[in-house]
Amino acid sequence: MNSQLTGQYIPGTSIMHRMDARAKFSGFLLLIAAVILTGTIKGYLLTISFILIIAALSKLPPEIATGSVRRMLPFFFVVFLLNVLFFESETPLWQWGIVTISIDGIAQGANILLRIVLILILSNVLTLTTPPMALMAAIESLMSPLRFIGVPVGDVSMILSVAVQFIPTLLRETDDIRTAQTARGAQFESGKLLDRAKALPPLLTPIFLSAFKRADELAVAMEARGYRGGKHRTKKASQPMPVSGWLALLLCAALCALQIFLF
């Protein structure tokens, strides 16, 4: 039993909650591009402020918007360290065998770290302010041009939306099984890598079993109710994107452009 499951939608009325999901998702992609394009200190200042403003507009409690970031701190540390220690530089500060410490390496480490953190925060804001089904509908509507090159968009989106609906159930179940096995003496928190690896089967086996069972039951239920594949699906008529959505997209695109041309 976690007190907060990762990446689960939190209802609200903030600007980010109310924004059109298609705009949010496309904006998300544009901002990821902007983060990757950012390379200078001035550029970072702009990108970071932009993303912090978005996070603030979402009115999410900061510790939740940055939840996954804090949980992955050990991973970040390793990534940073690898970059600092093994970046090959012309001007090393200190060298010993293959270990090279340099300003370039430290900058590279910081650069990568900052990008991961920013992208994590963005994806947190996206999934925490958008109901899963709205997100799926947005992705389907953005993918719909692919229909013309033969992609079965309907089926793909059905698969995605079923998967998305399963995520909270699976997370809840993982949590329940982890708790139950902990009560039986499993040690998931033990620091040693080997112990942690050993603790995986008691967790993964029941989860896979239950996921397969659910998938099976769902398939039977869908067939029994007459699901015959994407071509026959009816879809809600899509609405045009509101002006606010276009405006948000324009801002995100502007950030991208600035990163490319100015910095």
Partner 1 sequence: MSFEIKSLSYVYQRGTPLETPALENVSFSIGDGEFVGIMGHTGCGKSTLLHLMAGLLPAPAGTVLIDGEDINRKGYDRSVLRRKLGVLFQFPESQLFESTVEKDVAFGLKHSGLSTKDIEQRVQWAIETVGLDYSRVKGQSPLGLSGGEKRRAAIAGVLAVQPRHLILDEPTVGLDPMGREALLELLVKLNRDGMTILMVSHDADSLGEAARRLLVLHQGHLAADGPIGQVFADMDAMADWGLGVSQSREAAGLLARKGLEVPQDITSYRQLLPAVLTALKGGGSP
Residues forming contacts to partner 1 in the complex (CB under 8 A) are 1, 3-4, 10-12, 61, 63-64, 173, 176-177, 179-187, 201-202, 205-206, 209-210
Distances (CA, A) of 73 to 9, 76, 117: 23, 5, 10
Nearer to partner 1 (CB atom), residue 151 or residue 180: 180
Nearer to partner 1 (CB atom), residue 47 or residue 58: 58
Give CA torsion, residues 49, 53, 54, 57, to 10 deg: 170
Task: Name every residue whose Cβ is closer than 8 Å to that of residue 46 and which is 6 or more positions away in sequence.
Answer: 38, 255, 258, 259, 263
Q: How far is the CB of 78 from partner 1 (least distance, A)?
A: 27
Residue 93 phi/psi, 5-degree rounding, is: -80, -30
CB atoms within 10 A of CB 174: 18
Q: How far is the CB of 62 from partner 1 (least distance, A)?
A: 10
Q: Give which of 157, 177, 159 is closest to 215, Cα–Cα.
A: 159
Q: How far is the CB of 180 from partner 1 (least distance, A)?
A: 5
Q: Please report how many Cα atoms fall inside a 13 Å half-sphere around the Cα of residue 219, on the Cβ side.
A: 6
DSSP-derived secondary structure letter, 242: P
Nearer to partner 1 (CB atom), residue 89 or residue 181: 181
- Provide the token pair at 103: 């300003």
Nearer to partner 1 (CB atom), residue 139 or residue 199: 199
Q: How far is the CB of 126 from partner 1 (least distance, A)?
A: 17
Q: How far is the CB of 158 from partner 1 (least distance, A)?
A: 27
Nearer to partner 1 (CB atom), residue 56 or residue 114: 56
Nearer to partner 1 (CB atom), residue 111 or residue 179: 179
Q: What is the C-alpha separation between 22 and 126, in angstroms, rounded?
A: 11
- Provide the token pair at 212: 């397969």
Q: How far is the CB of 202 from partner 1 (least distance, A)?
A: 5
Which residue bears the tokens 């069972």?
213
Nearer to partner 1 (CB atom), residue 53 or residue 180: 180
CB 188 within 8 A of CB 2: no
Q: How far is the CB of 21 from partner 1 (least distance, A)?
A: 19
